[in-house]
Amino acid sequence: MSTATAGWLQAGLLVVALAVAYRPLGDYLAYIFTTNKHWRVEWGIYRLIGVNPDADQKWSTYLRGVLAFSAVSVLFLYGFQRLQEYLPLSLGFPAVPADQAFNTAASFATNTNWQSYSGETTMGHLVQMAGLAVQNFGSAAVGIVVVIALIRGFIRSRTEQVGNFWVDLTRACLRLLLPISVIFALVLIAGGVVDNVAAAHPVTTLAGGHQVIPGGPVASQEAIKELGTNGGGFYNANSAHPFENPNPVTNLIEIFLLLVIAVSLTRAFGKMVGDKRQGYAVLAVMAVIWVASVAGISYFESGQHSAAAAAAGGAMEGKEVRFGIPASTLFTASTTLTSTGAVNNAHDSLSPLGGGITILNMMLGEIAPGGTGSGLYGILILAIVTVFVAGLMVGRTPEYLNKKIRPREMKLASLYILTTPALVLIGTGVAIALKGEQAAILNPGPHGLSEILYAFTSTANNNGSAFAGLSVNTVWYNGALGVVMLLGRFLPIVWVLALAGSLAAQRMVPASAGTLPTHRPLFISMLLGVVILVVALTYFPAQALGPLAEGLH
């Protein structure tokens, strides 16, 4: 089978699998967040934390729930790492340094999973299992519940209530993330992913050398790593490591997992707002960007510009031979478009323009399809901006899903689209202006700029993948990137929940022939235009000095 055929086959299989899961999972998602019935175990949890599950909250109360939960998560995770040496299953690793522990705690609580550490040489099994993996569930659930609150803002009318955070969070974990993770952890074990609590295994290789092979509870963490668009690998090599991702089949399963919730959420959205076409329209925008990105990266990676590339049939540097170009690019495009940030190849070694696309993918704001929940709320904010401009062009006060886009909504949407670029640009600008931080760059010239740009783009957008080639385990980078991750996660959530409250308080406006339809191809292409003109172009100067300067000859 030729490489191209393999590529088509894998992409085709992936799309089919997503299509099959789309309806049942989307409908199930909508059901989870609309049903009045509580499970018995959920009752137990509500009683334990002292929550009345049938009392809805105002957006500000909901937000306080999100922030309190996340703050506790950060503190807990920080303490866990700092006290590692006194805990069981530490494998003898010492406490994680303060700056790195802060960075890691912020990283996992924000669904970023940026790793300035190397998993197998820093974290013991207990921290991995009870600390990091727990956050993989919690942070993914937070993203989902925030978008659910936003959807409720659209469908509710003249109310202050947007739902109950604790109920939504519990259900997202118990009814969605846990069951799917358990099933796929078993599937991955069947596929060859390791799972044990053994210590490192010293072996003598055939050549007579000594090697230490670290095991661990990998598969159980791998499933939620992808499913929750987290991306923090058990091993430093992440999904390029044969114990995390042994073969093309597990590779495809992992790509499927990291896409499936974000994709199916569009169905849940359409179902909840009572017009499935609205969900399809958003999905169409995501799909176009995803396909373009996969095609773009594939094109640049299979280019044979150098002798080595020509011999290998593409830019194989930094890629696993067991995956080859197609499985690597499929993974790369999906992971950078979903805020997952798991990698199965070294992004630093991508061709300049291929690497530029991965940065661009993240710059779009993780919307195609984006992180669990965060992808959907990101694209809905852009839809609001699009509706505003398009709505004016049809001569009415703009409306989206029967809600008017008034100054307050516009203010929150503008703050949202302003936040991430501000973090990326200021972060990159400051880092590159500081002589000491410049020194962390391993490659001079435009590639070095790309490395810093990648780091800040990845953290501000809560992606978490790394271009590498940048020594980020310094106090400055650990601190700066940690702060960027926290702001990049929670400021947008503040705007989104405020928007949910503002929309919920509005009265429904009935649709008429004068209302702009937001499910037609015309609107879909305009939304794409806004994504490119309003979001992507902001970064054009930075891209020009990094990937474009390197890639254009």
In this structure, are residues 221 and 128 in contact, taking their beta carbons and an 8 Å threshold? yes
What SS3 string covers 99-138?
HHHHHHHHHHHCCCCCCCCCHHHHCCHHHHHHHHHHHHHH
Residue 298 and residue 302: Cα distance in Å, rounded?
Answer: 6
Q: Minimum CB separation from other proteins for residue 137, in Å?
A: 34
Of 19, 55, 75, 537, which one interacts with other proteins (CB under 8 A)? Answer: 537
In this structure, are residues 375 and 338 in contact, taking their beta carbons and an 8 Å threshold? yes
Instruction: Please choose, from the candidates 134, 126, 129, the residue with its C-alpha nearest in 3D space to the C-alpha of residue 91.
Output: 126
Q: Which stretch binds other proteins (CB under 8 A): 77-85, 213-221, 246-254, 533-541?
A: 533-541
Would you count residue 442 as binding other proteins (CB under 8 A)? no
Contact track, other proteins, 496-515, x by CB under 8 A: -----------xxxx-xxxx
DSSP for 398-444 reads -EETTEE--HHHHHHHHHHHHHHHHHHHHHHHHHHHSHHHHTTBSS-
The C-alpha angle with vertex 345 and arms to 341 and 349, in degrees rounded to 5, equals: 105
Q: Which stretch binds other proteins (CB under 8 A): 282-290, 311-319, 412-420, 483-491?
A: 412-420
What tokens appear for 184 in the block?
Answer: 């796929």
Q: Are strands 161-163 and 57-58 parallel, antiparallel or unpaired?
A: antiparallel
Residue 68 and residue 65: Cα distance in Å, rounded?
Answer: 5
Of 88, 208, 209, 407, which one interacts with other proteins (CB under 8 A)? Answer: 407
Of 38, 58, 276, 406, which one interacts with other proteins (CB under 8 A)? Answer: 406
Would you count residue 433 as binding other proteins (CB under 8 A)? yes
Of 397, 439, 442, 475, which one interacts with other proteins (CB under 8 A)? Answer: 397
What tokens appear for 44 in the block?
Answer: 């137990």
In this structure, are residues 443 and 469 in contact, taking their beta carbons and an 8 Å threshold? yes
Residue number, 167 or 425, with CB nearest to other proteins? 425
Would you count residue 486 as binding other proteins (CB under 8 A)? no
For residue 55, the one-letter residue type is A
Residue 204 and residue 501: Cα distance in Å, rounded?
Answer: 62
Would you count residue 311 as binding other proteins (CB under 8 A)? no
In this structure, are residues 108 and 232 in contact, taking their beta carbons and an 8 Å threshold? yes
How does 432-443 read in b/e, with b if 16+ C-beta sit within 10 Å?
beeeebeebbee
Contact track, other proteins, 446-485, x by CB under 8 A: x-xx------------------------------------
Binding residues among 377-396 for other proteins as defined by CB under 8 A: 385, 388-396
Of 292, 422, 483, 491, which one interacts with other proteins (CB under 8 A)? Answer: 422
Of 415, 471, 479, 483, which one interacts with other proteins (CB under 8 A)? Answer: 415
Residue number, 9 or 532, with CB nearest to other proteins? 532
Q: Minimum CB separation from other proteins for residue 159, in Å?
A: 15
- Number of Cβ within a 10 Å radius of residue 89: 17
Residue 470 is classified by DSSP as: B
Residue number, 310 or 552, with CB nearest to other proteins? 552
Of 236, 414, 473, 474, which one interacts with other proteins (CB under 8 A)? Answer: 414
Residue 87 is classified by DSSP as: S
Would you count residue 526 as binding other proteins (CB under 8 A)? yes
Q: Which stretch binds other proteins (CB under 8 A): 9-17, 201-209, 216-224, 430-438?
A: 430-438
Of 432, 455, 493, 498, which one interacts with other proteins (CB under 8 A)? Answer: 432
Q: Name residues whose C-beta falls within 8 Å of residue 195's C-beta, 6 or more positions apart in sequence.
A: 185, 189, 216, 217, 218, 219, 220
Q: Minimum CB separation from other proteins for residue 160, in Å?
A: 18
The C-alpha angle with vertex 259 and arms to 143 and 349, in degrees rounded to 5, equals: 105
Of 150, 260, 363, 425, which one interacts with other proteins (CB under 8 A)? Answer: 425
Residue number, 123 or 413, with CB nearest to other proteins? 413
Residue number, 166 or 416, with CB nearest to other proteins? 416
Of 401, 405, 460, 480, which one interacts with other proteins (CB under 8 A)? Answer: 405
Binding region for other proteins (CB under 8 A) = 385, 388-398, 402, 405-407, 409-411, 413-415, 417-418, 421-422, 425-426, 428-430, 432-433, 438, 445-446, 448-449, 507-510, 512-517, 520, 522-523, 526, 529, 533-534, 537-542, 544-545, 548-549, 551-553
